[in-house]
Every structure is written in structure tokens, then in C-alpha cells.
Amino acid sequence: MMLRFFAPLLVLTCLAIPALAAEPLSVFVSVPPQATFVTRVGGDHVEVSALIRPGTNPHTFEPTPRQVAALAAADLFVRIGMPFEDALMHRLRDLNPTMVIADARDGLPLRRLEPHGHDEHDEHEHEHEHEHAGDHDHGHDANALDPHVWTSPPLVIEMAGAIRDQLTRLDPGHAADYAANHDAFVAELRALDEAIRADLASAPGRRFMVYHPAWGYFAETYDLVQIPIEFEGKTPGPRTLASLIDQARAAGIRVILVEPQFSPKAAEQVARAIDGRVESIDPLAADYIANLRSVARTIAGAARP
């Protein structure tokens, strides 16, 4: 009798319990900032992994077999134009032909890396003549596309919309969440853009010097001029260094910006010659908004008349 009494109640209780949520979408990206973007839009409905870890040189990176195996089981991979991606695409299509592969750069105005005043006939201390498949290996190709699109907040706003749309296609049941998360994230990105413009408005100069040319999109967005020390994967030789020192002096630059993924040796050489200093900025930092604010303030201090 007791079981017969509780049976209807048990059925009603089970009906009242919502169905268990589906497993989160498994998403892989190339660099940590992308992981932040997907997480902000996807929220609890995504599990995101970046292939490149902080502190890793993305231009010499090769994914491990374990990473490739995990990636092959993912629902979505969002590429961004890093050198290793072209070779990886062939492996992924063989391992998982049905996996969705999206390109974060689709529809964005892309730029090419320029030497910015380097003497193409200058001899370099370390020649690295490697050939890679595809036109995105910008480490050694003067005509290659610059993949660092995430350094421009307005371009990230466009990427956020594409992420929302892609997640919605894969998981339409959570479309409202993706839309709400997207709108909140875009509001923060717009506030970031305004704050960066305010930070840079006080900079009397518009030129800044970096070791590796990762800030071209940032420079274009905010009407700055990036002067790179390294180009085509090569350490500059004596003539190029002398030219860079002259450029830094003429522009009043007293701070040379370096990334933690690269040796600061050449930057330190230029800094000593101009009686300046070296500061580290990281385009791969996962805390995107705080990092971009810090970068803007650093560049504002480095860009002197």
C-alpha cells in the first residue's frame, strides 16, 4: 500500500524536474584571448581550451599529439591565422571530418606585416629561412597576413557577433543566453575602446617601438605607428639596429616594448643606446580587458614627441 501511495507522487516529482542540460559544447581556439571571447559569449554552455599556453612562442608552436587528439573530439575549432594552423587543418579533417572549423577573421579587414623601415639588404645576425605551408606564416614572409586581429577591440566586437552566431547554430536551445552574454560582453568592449582612446589622447607622440610586430591592428585602430625591431623572424643586424636607434631618437621614444615570448636582447640594445628602458607587454594575456588597458597606458607612456 505504501508503494502504491507514493507512486503517483514519484511520477509527479519526476515530471517537475527539468531535463538535465546537455553537455557543454567543446570548443578549441588557437590563443588565450580567443578563449576569453568564447567563454564570455558561451558562458556555462561551453568548455573552451586554447592550444597555445601563456608564455609560449606562437610562431614556433606545434600542438602535441594529446592536444590534437582532444581537438579532434571537439565540437568547434576557431582558428585565427597562426602559422601552425594550416598544417593542423589537414590532420583535423582526417581525424574528424564532421567537426566545425570556423575562422575568426572572416569578414574582418586584414592587414599585412610591413618592415617599417627595415633595410631589406641588411645582414642579420640570425637567419631563419624556413618554409611553411599556407600564406599565414608571418614569421618568415613579408607578404603574410597579420593574425593579431584581437589587439583591436572594435574587431573583437565583430568577432563576438560571429561567435554568438556559431554557438547558436550548434546549440539553438541556448540562443537567448548566447545573445544576452554577447550583448554584455560587447558593452564592456565598447567601454574598453573609449577608455583606450582616452588614455592615448594624452600621448603627445603617435609612434611606439616593439620587438615583435604584434600590435599592428591596435596601431591602426588608434592612429598609432608601430615600429618593430624584429622582422621576418630575424634578429636585426648592425645597420638595422643603427637605423632603429635613429628612429627611436627622432620620435623621442624612451620605452621599448617586448613580449615575454621573445628574447629582449635586441630591444635592450636599442634601449641602452637611447638611454631608455624595456617594458613587457603580452598580446596573449587571457585577461583581455585589463591587459588592453595596461597596454594602452604603457604605449601612451612610450610614445613621446
CATH code for the domain in which residue 47 is found: 3.40.50.1980
Indicate if the pLDDT at residue 280 is higher than 80.
yes
Share of the chain above pLDDT 70, in %: 82
Alpha-carbon gap, residue 138 to 59, rounded angstroms: 8
pLDDT at 304: 55
Query: Number of folded domains in the chain?
Result: 2
Shared-domain flag, residues 98 and 150? yes
Indicate if the pLDDT at residue 2 is higher than 60.
no
Shared-domain flag, residues 222 and 253? yes
C-alpha cell at 145: 597576413
Decide: helix, strand or coil at residue 258: strand
Alpha-carbon gap, residue 89 to 101, rounded angstroms: 9
Shared-domain flag, residues 52 and 161? yes
3-state class percentages of the chain: helix first, strand second, coil last, to nearest 5: 45, 15, 40
Shared-domain flag, residues 71 and 104? yes
Q: Which residues pair with 278 in a beta bridge?
A: 256
Query: Cell match 597562426: residue?
Result: 82
Tally of CB atoms within 10 A around 12 = 9
- pTM score of the predicted model: 0.83
Alpha-carbon gap, residue 204 to 225, rounded angstroms: 13
Shared-domain flag, residues 83 and 182? yes
Indicate if the pLDDT at residue 126 is higher than 50.
no
Tally of CB atoms within 10 A around 32 = 24
Res. 55 pLDDT band, cuts 50 70 90: confident
Shared-domain flag, residues 171 and 293? no
32-36, 80-84, 137-141: least confidently modelled range: 137-141
Shared-domain flag, residues 29 and 170? yes
Q: Can you give the residue range of the structural domain that contains 43?
A: 25-108+142-189
Give the residue from 122, 155, 189 where a domain finishes. 189
Whether residue 122 is contained in a domain is answered as: no
Indicate if the pLDDT at residue 228 is higher than 80.
yes
Shared-domain flag, residues 249 and 278? yes
Give the chain's mean pLDDT.
Answer: 83
pLDDT at 114: 62
Whether residue 36 is contained in a domain is answered as: yes
Q: Which residues pair with 38 in a beta bridge?
A: none
Alpha-carbon gap, residue 9 to 11, rounded angstroms: 5
Largest CA distance in the chain: 96
Whether residue 195 is contained in a domain is answered as: no
Whether residue 30 is contained in a domain is answered as: yes
Whether residue 126 is contained in a domain is answered as: no
Which range in 40-49, 50-59, 135-144, 257-266 is most confidently predicted, on average pLDDT? 40-49
Tally of CB atoms within 10 A around 141 = 19
Shared-domain flag, residues 36 and 66? yes
Alpha-carbon gap, residue 140 to 275, rounded angstroms: 31
Which conformational region is residue 107 in: left (phi greater than 0), alpha (psi within -120 to 50 degrees), or beta? left
Q: Which residues pair with 234 in a beta bridge?
A: 231
Name the more confident of 146 and 203: 146
Burial of 8 (0-12, 13-18, 19+ CB in 10 A): exposed
Shared-domain flag, residues 157 and 233? no
Whether residue 121 is contained in a domain is answered as: no
pLDDT at 115: 57
Q: What is the mean pLDDT of residues 48-76?
A: 89
Give the residue from 189, 212, 246 where a domain finishes. 189
Alpha-carbon gap, residue 55 to 282, rounded angstroms: 9
Q: What is the mean pLDDT of residues 58-82?
A: 91
Shared-domain flag, residues 162 and 216? no
Indicate if the pLDDT at residue 232 is higher than 60.
yes
Give the residue from 189, 219, 253 where a domain finishes. 189
Shared-domain flag, residues 64 and 96? yes
Whether residue 14 is contained in a domain is answered as: no
